[in-house]
Amino acid sequence: MKPRDSRPGKGPRSGATSSNKRSAAGGSGRGTASGSGRSAASGTGRSAGGKRVDPRDARRDPRDAKRPPRDAKYAPRAAVNTKRSRPPAREHTGPRAPRPDQHGLGGSQIEGRQAVRELLIAQRRKTFEIWVSNDLDENDVINDILALAADQRVPVRRVPRKEIEKEARSEAPQGVLAMAAPIPDVELGDLLAPRKGNVPAFLVAIDGVTDPGNLGAILRSCDGAGVHGVILPRHRAVHITPTAAKSAAGAAEYVPMCVVGGLPTALKQMKDAGVWIVGLSDAADKNIFEIGDLTSEPICLVLGAEGAGLSRLVKERCDLLVSIPMGGSLSSLNVSAAAALATYEVVRSRVAKTK
């Protein structure tokens, strides 16, 4: 047998092979590029497997494989619920409270027997609910609270003392707690308006007092001395908290109070209205007993915080600075004690001049 010649172009197998190669390269290749390609481009939309082919796929960049399909770009988005779901309401067994007053006097929660009784007697604001400890012995104050609440149709709940102590924000609520509307404040112009009988204005301004117990004691002294109004700064000062209301023993229901944005500006407004501004200062040369005829004029006593005293701007707005003479080892009194002494000195002087 003759050996097979492996050179190209020799023998029948070699010719068939080269013919087949040319057919595959020229015929099938051109057919795929020109025939099938043109068919796909011309819109037949059929592939070799019989599936429909998007005509755009023939012109698609290979990098488009990493991109999302065009149809997905324009597909309608699923509806998304943009509403914020509300958290489940927490169960609260405490007394009903109104929305807190961010800029007013406060006083929505009242604790203590005397404070709650005066709240019901004054009727300056609506009382929503009263809690009374179920282990309290009946006495005149408790009986008054129950009778007044029944007359005004205020709900009264008998609860364990532990529940009241849990809700209370003062040290000793005395087994009685009430929720009411915030204390209404008055405008400074109302305090400066003329009064019946031409009684000169008697006002007290408080500068930087942050202790609620002191504020309550000051209000109690002001009520007893017949002060026409108390001016409180809106910032850096305490307002009517449960402790202040309890210390005031109901005086917060009767003493008109005004909240001002800036105390120096309010003092200037009072000076323009003819009110004498007298500030209490430990460093003053003149004492409170030497103010003389000023007590018969419209007057405003200004009390500063313990330690810091009156601020610089407040001192500059004062017409006169006076001190309280101290005969012992201590240099000053508590601000609430100083308020009681100063207000009653004005009352004593006015009463002496009317005789």
What integer pLDDT is reported at residue 305 of this predicted model? 85
Q: Which of 190, 189, 217, 338 is nearest to 278 (CA)?
A: 338
Q: Torsion over CA of 9, 12, 16 and 17, rounded to 10 degrees?
A: -60
Specify the pTM: 0.71
CATH number (1.10.340.30, 3.40.1280.10, 3.40.50.300, 3.90.1150.10) of 188-354 reads 3.40.1280.10
Is the pLDDT at 6 greater than 50? The verdict is: no
CA of 118: how far to CAs of 142, 156, 157, in Å?
A: 12, 16, 19
pLDDT of 101 higher than 90: no
Q: 129 falls in which pLDDT band (50, 70, 90)?
A: very high
- Find out if CATH 3.30.1330.30 is the number for domain 109-180: yes
Residues 6+ apart with CB under 8 A from 60: none
Strands 299-304 and 276-280, bridge-based pairing: parallel
Kindly state the tokens that stand for 195. 């009064």
Dist. CA 149–CA 156, nearest whole Å:
7
Q: Could you state, in order of their start, the residue ranges of all structural domains in the chain?
A: 109-180, 188-354
**For residue 353, what pLDDT is reported?**
84
Per-residue model confidence as pLDDT tens digits over 38-75:
444 444 455 555 556 565 555 555 655 555 555 554 55
At 184-236, the pLDDT tens digits run 999 999 999 988 888 999 999 999 899 999 999 999 999 999 999 999 999 88
Are the beta carbons of 49 and 56 closer than 8 angstroms?
Answer: no
φ, ψ for residue 81 (rounded to 5)?
-80, 105
Question: Is the four-CA dihedral 8, 14, 19, 22 of positive or negative sign?
Answer: negative
